[in-house]
Amino acid sequence: MSFKTKNLQVLVLSPNEQIIDTLNPEFVEIPEDNELHGLRTIRITHPIVDDTNNEIDLVGRYETILRPGNKVFLEFSGDGNNVLYVLHGPKDVNTVNNSIIIDGTEVARELSETLPIEINYTHQFELTTNNLNTHFGQFFTIGIINTPPTLFFYQGIINHMALLREIESKTGYEFQFRYVLNKSTNKIIRYLDLIKKIGKKHESPIEVGYNSPDVNWTIDDTDVRIAVCPVGNNVVEKKKSEDEKTFMQIMAAWKAWSCQRGQTIGYGYYIDEENKWVPTGTRVAPFTKVAGQLYIVCDALDEIAALYTRMHVKEGSATTIPRCAYFETSEEINQNIYWEAVETLRSDELCKSEITVEAKVIDMKKLTDGNPEYYNVGDEVPIKIKDLRMVIDGRIKETNKDSRNPEGETVKIGTTTTNIINSIIKNIR
């Protein structure tokens, strides 16, 4: 039996994860899509008849088990690891093509559908195994934890997935989900890890003629912005007290406020037990906030790497203004608004062109039963681009795979390294 089928075991489970059946590895197609900081998805296609038009699903077996709510466990995914998926649809029973098609997402998606949790911390805390178990232990066994040096603080009503993403945003660390089948109990153990960066580092570059038939690259400045501004409105029709501020009053104070790049200012202001606003700590301001302006501009030139950062006013005037992004705020302390603005500019890499390299990666070891080198989301990998005469250090941000057809898998690699983007820009100017 070829590599395409011999390692592909597909278990079908009930909603409470009891194994109820398997899918026929000779016929089933399960392409997998994955994105960095996203969740893995699948589309299962199972034929009703075989190549000779003999009916496979004589008693509706596959039509019965492939239904929303049931789960599918891939013991050998396109990434070379185990994944537990929950089927949700849409489900399509196609009598013309004689197939059953249904979509699924890895079971971690259910963290975004949990009942709300209320968090009302009055101080920062470490993200330790015990603290993470308090919030996520009901759904995942806490696995590998590299406790971030940054302490975490949050107050509000939130669901589990949103809290997970909030932790990633605030610490710069990344969560990963793992699924392991305990063959003695037939139970699938779910693990939640928090590590500095998911993925591994590849030494061999992706290169046309070596391990890829083609490498295509794009540069995109669609979402580039170098300025950012808070927005909102006066949702309070009548103030409850004289101390309560309207949004426009908050914005007037924000407009008048200023700070210099390199200045040390407070962050994470909250109301303490004495009803006073106090900071959770201090940080060095990366950008200048000019008094009299509602927005801040990225004035750290080493953080800008793009062609289209400013726009000219009408009729080809020499006057330019920075391209500006907007974010909603409910904060009323200037320093809190400032750090929200900084996070908006930095979290989405707004000041940088998006460089994407797409390649079909052919790992010959996969096709010869060798020890394969998997190219997975989060991995760091060098790419040789012939027409730019340079090697780009990138990180895989998206994959499209099918473990039955490994020669057709596609990876997309992005880079946000400022000097690399600027080198590419120089080459295309």
pLDDT digits (tens, 9 = 90+) for 31-80: 999 999 999 999 999 888 765 566 666 557 888 999 999 999 998 888 88
At which of 298, 330, 347 does a domain end?
A: 347
CA distance 76 to 128: 31
Look up tokens 């592909």; give the residue. Answer: 8
Same domain, 262 and 323: yes
- Residue-range definition of the domain harbouring residue 372: 215-221+353-428
Domain count, the chain: 4
Same domain, 79 and 178: no
* pLDDT per position as a tens digit, 378-427: 999 888 776 666 777 888 999 998 877 766 678 888 876 566 666 666 55
Per the CB < 8 A criterion, the answer to whether 289 and 340 are in contact is no
Q: 12: pLDDT confidence band, cut at 50, 70 and 90?
A: very high
* pLDDT per position as a tens digit, 105-114: 999 999 999 9
Question: Does residue 342 belong to any structural domain of this protein?
Answer: yes
CA distance 88 to 47: 19
Same domain, 297 and 280: yes
Same domain, 259 and 324: yes
What percent of the residues of the chain are helix, what percent strand, and what percent coil, each to the nearest 5? 20, 35, 45
What value does the mean pLDDT of the chain take? Answer: 85
At which of 56, 89, 108 does a domain end?
A: 108
pLDDT in the model for residue 62: 86
297 pLDDT above the threshold of 60: yes
Same domain, 94 and 43: yes
Q: 1: pLDDT confidence band, cut at 50, 70 and 90?
A: very low
CA distance 106 to 88: 10
- Helices 334-347 and 247-256 cross at an angle (nearest 10°) of 80
Question: Does residue 206 belong to any structural domain of this protein?
Answer: no
Question: Does residue 176 belong to any structural domain of this protein?
Answer: yes
Peptide bond into 90 cis (omega under 30): yes
Same domain, 131 and 187: yes
Give, in degrees to the nearest 5, the angle at Cα 199 between 197 and 205: 120
At which of 52, 83, 108 does a domain end?
A: 108
Question: Does residue 209 belong to any structural domain of this protein?
Answer: no
Same domain, 80 and 62: yes
Question: Does residue 235 belong to any structural domain of this protein?
Answer: yes
Which DSSP string do the residues of 186-255 spell out, in sequence order? TEEEEEEEEES--S-B--SPB-BTTTBS-EEEEEE-TT--SEEEEE-----SS-SSTTPPPHHHHHHHHH
Q: 176: pLDDT confidence band, cut at 50, 70 and 90?
A: very high
**Which residue intervals of 219-372 are DSSP H helices?**
247-256, 334-347, 364-367
Question: Does residue 315 belong to any structural domain of this protein?
Answer: yes
pLDDT in the model for residue 358: 84
CA distance 177 to 179: 7
Residue type, 75: E
3-class SS at 171? Answer: helix
Same domain, 82 and 122: no
Tokens of 357: 């390299």
- Quick one: CA torsion of 244, 250, 252, 256, rounded to 10 degrees? 120
Same domain, 21 and 52: yes
The DSSP bridge partners found for residue 5 are none
Report the range of poorest mean pLDDT among 4-13, 119-128, 232-241, 331-340. 232-241
User: How far is Cα of residue 131 from the mean position of the Cα atoms in its chain?
Assistant: 23
- Interval 146-168 mean pLDDT: 90
Same domain, 14 and 86: yes
6 pLDDT above the threshold of 50: no
Question: Does residue 237 belong to any structural domain of this protein?
Answer: yes
Burial class (CB in 10 A: 0-12, 13-18, 19+), 313: exposed
CATH number for the domain harbouring residue 13: 2.40.10
CA distance 10 to 25: 7
Same domain, 104 and 121: no
The total number of residues shown for the chain amounts to 429
* pLDDT per position as a tens digit, 253-285: 999 999 999 999 999 898 888 888 999 889 999
Same domain, 76 and 154: no
Q: 327: pLDDT confidence band, cut at 50, 70 and 90?
A: very high
* High-pLDDT (> 90) share of the chain, %: 48
- Interval 20-36 mean pLDDT: 88
Q: Which helix (H) or strand (E) holds 150?
A: none
Question: Does residue 208 belong to any structural domain of this protein?
Answer: no
